[in-house]
Structure 1
Amino acid sequence: MRYGSFPKQFLFQRSIMPCQWAHLLVKLHGMTHQTRTNRNIAIIGAGAAGLAAASVLQRTQSVTLFEQHSVVGGLWRTNDNFKHTALYPSLRSNLPAGLMAFLDFPFQRQLIPEHEGDYPGPAAVAAYLQAYADHHQLIPKIQFNAKVTRVSPINDTQWLIELADRPAQIFDAVVVCNGHYTQPNRPLIEGSTESGLSVLHAKDYINPDPFRDQRVLVWGSKASGMDLVREISTTAKQVYWCGHDPGMDALVQDKSNVSIHADPTKLNRDAIELADGERLTGVDQVLLCTGYQYQFPFLDEALITIDDNLVHGLHQHILLAKRPTLAFIGLPYLVIPFPLFLIQSQWLNAVLTGQLQLPDAPQLIALSDAEVAQHLAKPGEPRHFHRLGADQLAYLVHLIESAALAPLPDIFLARLKAVYEIKLAHPQDFRAIELPSQTFRDPPPA
């Protein structure tokens, strides 16, 4: 299977690169590449993105990972009470394990409890990431309980990594993999302070018990919004699901106590005003399923600018154009994350080793600015710049082809297509639908 057999929704809905970049690739093709290996690379974070980066870069560079906790796993690292985390006990991946897995390491079936079926929960994913780290012998390269407090350039070729409780260290390049599910995005709603209403974020959610017999407004129509609306509806008296995405009705048509409404614009003590003029009365609690914000507290604002959740100055969502020895793995969202992290890391490795020659910093900055300008010229909010969604396959193909990487495996493409078709046909209960056994049978161990 190749890319041409995919639904058009998956293929090149927007131009991933400005046309100037294609011309530059042609000009640079055939240049003698200077191999650059064995440089000291700092990787911040030992979650899925950090582990992917380390597994690839360790083949050509000397890598050190800094993880502020005592175990690997990042977002998927679980604790007993699920407090201060984006996870909750009933959470299950919205991707089956066979599609979710890194392309170089199948998801072992025995890690997933039987009741979770094909869609693993937090503990299973955390165990898989631990197995991945063990498989690639990454643990000795990780400094645990190492909180990075500041990353700053020393000169054009070196970086200083400052840590909370140990001496600073110097590196030749830095890869930021600190995730983006830590800082909740809490949109300002007029009157939210004065209304007296309880306004929670999905990060505060643990289970539906606190919503029993209440009227609950849930704002946000993506994956967490759908999952929490359906779960809260099992205990709540009424759930008002607010959002502006088409097709929300189809996701809850089996829930008699869930109704669909426009976005909230103002909270009053006696009523909530919506964008279409409707007023909801008697609401007891508000739950925001409005996503998370990028934050890099260890980076100076002179290095990186975030405007309405758009991280400026990045080439291909990875390289800081003005200082291309600072990279980010894992910024895109609404994607199949683990395979994307791996391919981003392979592309970065091609850049660091000289296999892929990039333009100089001024040209990279111009390309980055053009990518942002192209996005801002279209309808929508700036904050969705890193939301790839249906464009993710085009993005992956571009990274692969520009760096001469191995093509996406046919089995990955077949699984992607199968899951897309299942979700399209069964949006409410896709996790209950049996996956095609031939497509999702794991290959024999190498």
Structure 2
Amino acid sequence: MKVAVIGAGATGLIAARELQSEGHRAVVFERKNQLGGTWVYDSRVEADPLSLDPSREVVISSLYFSLRTNLPRHLMGDFGLGELIRFGAEVVRVERVDSGKDQWVVESRTSEVSSEEFFEAVVVCNGHHTEPRVAFLPGIEKWPGRQVHSHNYRHPEPYQNQVVVMIGNGPSAYDISREIATVAKEVHLSSRSPDVKVSRLGNHHNIWQHSKGVPFPLTELQSKWIAGTLSGKLLLPSEEEMLAEVEAHYKQMEENGIPKHHTHFLNPFGDWLSAQVGLPPLDERLKDVFWQLVMCLILQKDGYRDEMDIDSLIRSAT
């Protein structure tokens, strides 16, 4: 089957590999001239520092100059996918062809020409980090200070001797606040209070199906499912069954007092997905390594990327 893959970031590359392994002919469209997607550093920032102006020129990368990944390299590999990728080719339209069979027309554009091509399936891997989420704060538009989304942060120097408030408490806030603190007068971290306080039930740390999972192996499992489905080896549930499961999942979250923004925390889901594609669960050693790195991030431990001997961790876990 001829399959279009939109995007040559982490997810697109994994999808292309699994499609190829299943015998499909994958064509990967990447609008930039190198692979990596949002993980490719670009010194440019957008004209609108909050990235709200729909007419702005979009900068794909959200990386700041000093960023180093906190994902262990053991979760990745090189599979020679370069020949599948069409660099500098931006997909501008995908439309289903009304021909009585599964067929899609994909219109792409390069700096020189626009073209249309037909595919039997399309896998969308264009990401979502180019559209920053901006917190709604009543009256913030009247505040005279400068507002910048972390998507447009590159270096700490512009914040020299300033008082800075960081809104949010995710990984970017950890990194950027610590870096800005080396030059700023003051740095304040601000995060929302939980809507509902949930106490543990017995000794159960997780009482719903999903918790944050190891991202790239999870993407690999999802891609295996897609490739197997397109080959006819795996069958998807009916639309009614899917909707019923989604409704049941939200109901369980509500009953357990779990806010909806935790919907896509995925951990046991990975083991469930492994079973669906006929594979053993993700190696527990890799999970342990990943979670040790996550704890270092949460505890804001300096230098953990250099101090941790991941090879020794994996050997000791055998």
Instruction: Identify the TM-score tier after normalising by the shorter chain.
Output: 0.7 to 0.9
Following superposition, the deviation at residue 437 of structure 1 comes to: 4.4
User: Counterparts of 2:215 and 2:240 in 1: how far apart (Å)?
Assistant: 30
Are the counterparts in 1 of residues 10 and 36 from structure 2 also a CA contact under 8 Å?
yes
Q: Is residue 2:33 matched to residue 1:70?
A: yes
> Corresponding residue for 1:194?
142
> Corresponding residue for 1:89?
65
Letter in 1 for 2:86: Q
> Corresponding residue for 2:176?
228
Q: Is residue 2:68 matched to residue 1:159?
A: no
> Corresponding residue for 2:222?
344
SS at match of 1:407: coil
> Corresponding residue for 1:405?
279
Letter in 1 for 2:97: I
Cα gap change, 1:226 to 1:145, in 2 (>3 Å): same
TM-score (norm 1): 0.57
Q: Is residue 2:308 matched to residue 1:434?
A: yes
Following superposition, the deviation at residue 186 of structure 1 comes to: 1.0
SS at match of 2:178: helix
Cα gap change, 1:46 to 1:362, in 2 (>3 Å): same
Are the counterparts in 1 of residues 7 and 29 from structure 2 also a CA contact under 8 Å?
yes
Are the counterparts in 1 of residues 217 and 282 from structure 2 also a CA contact under 8 Å?
no
SS at match of 2:138: coil
Following superposition, the deviation at residue 373 of structure 1 comes to: 4.7
Following superposition, the deviation at residue 168 of structure 1 comes to: 1.8
Cα gap change, 1:417 to 1:145, in 2 (>3 Å): closer
Letter in 1 for 2:239: A
Are the counterparts in 1 of residues 213 and 270 from structure 2 also a CA contact under 8 Å?
no
Q: Is residue 2:18 matched to residue 1:140?
A: no
Q: Is residue 2:32 matched to residue 1:56?
A: no
Unaligned runs of 5+ in 1: 1-38, 106-131, 247-331, 442-446
Are the counterparts in 2 of residues 209 and 235 from structure 1 also a CA contact under 8 Å?
yes
> Corresponding residue for 1:364?
242
Are the counterparts in 1 of residues 211 and 268 from structure 2 also a CA contact under 8 Å?
no
Cα gap change, 1:381 to 1:151, in 2 (>3 Å): farther
Are the counterparts in 2 of residues 56 and 345 from structure 1 also a CA contact under 8 Å?
yes
Unaligned runs of 5+ in 2: 47-58, 195-209
User: Counterparts of 1:207 and 1:145 in 2: how far apart (Å)?
Assistant: 28
Cα gap change, 1:333 to 1:413, in 2 (>3 Å): closer
Are the counterparts in 1 of residues 41 and 64 from structure 2 also a CA contact under 8 Å?
no
Cα gap change, 1:188 to 1:420, in 2 (>3 Å): closer
User: Counterparts of 1:371 and 1:361 in 2: how far apart (Å)?
Assistant: 15
Letter in 2 for 1:161: V
SS at match of 2:227: helix
Cα RMSD for the two superposed structures: 2.7
User: Counterparts of 1:414 and 1:163 in 2: how far apart (Å)?
Assistant: 42
Cα gap change, 1:210 to 1:334, in 2 (>3 Å): farther
User: Counterparts of 2:72 and 2:223 in 1: how far apart (Å)?
Assistant: 23
Letter in 2 for 1:206: R
After superposition, residues 294-305 of structure 1 pair within 5 angstroms as none
> Corresponding residue for 2:127?
179
**What's the CA shift string for 1:249-298, capped at 9, x where partnerless?**
xxxxxxxxxxxxxxxxxxxxxxxxxxxxxxxxxxxxxxxxxxxxxxxxxx
User: Counterparts of 2:106 and 2:2 in 1: how far apart (Å)?
Assistant: 12
User: Counterparts of 2:292 and 2:184 in 1: how far apart (Å)?
Assistant: 34
**What's the CA shift string for 1:284-342, capped at 9, x where partnerless?**
xxxxxxxxxxxxxxxxxxxxxxxxxxxxxxxxxxxxxxxxxxxxxxxx99543222221
> Corresponding residue for 2:153?
205
SS at match of 2:122: strand
Are the counterparts in 2 of residues 347 and 400 from structure 1 also a CA contact under 8 Å?
no
Following superposition, the deviation at residue 434 of structure 1 comes to: 2.9
SS at match of 1:199: coil
Are the counterparts in 2 of residues 82 and 89 from structure 1 also a CA contact under 8 Å?
no
After superposition, residues 1-400 of structure 1 pair within 5 angstroms as 39-59=1-21, 60-81=23-44, 84=59, 85-98=61-74, 101-102=75-76, 105=77, 132=78, 135-136=79-80, 138-155=81-98, 157-164=102-109, 165-244=113-192, 335-375=213-253, 379=257, 381-386=259-264, 388=265, 392-400=266-274
Cα gap change, 1:421 to 1:72, in 2 (>3 Å): closer
Letter in 2 for 1:428: K
Query: How many residues are paired up?
Result: 280
Are the counterparts in 1 of residues 229 and 236 from structure 2 also a CA contact under 8 Å?
yes
Following superposition, the deviation at residue 46 of structure 1 comes to: 0.5
User: Counterparts of 1:143 and 1:82 in 2: how far apart (Å)?
Assistant: 25
User: Counterparts of 2:294 and 2:43 in 1: how far apart (Å)?
Assistant: 34
TM-score (norm 2): 0.78
User: Counterparts of 1:432 and 1:245 in 2: how far apart (Å)?
Assistant: 33
Following superposition, the deviation at residue 211 of structure 1 comes to: 0.9
Following superposition, the deviation at residue 436 of structure 1 comes to: 5.4
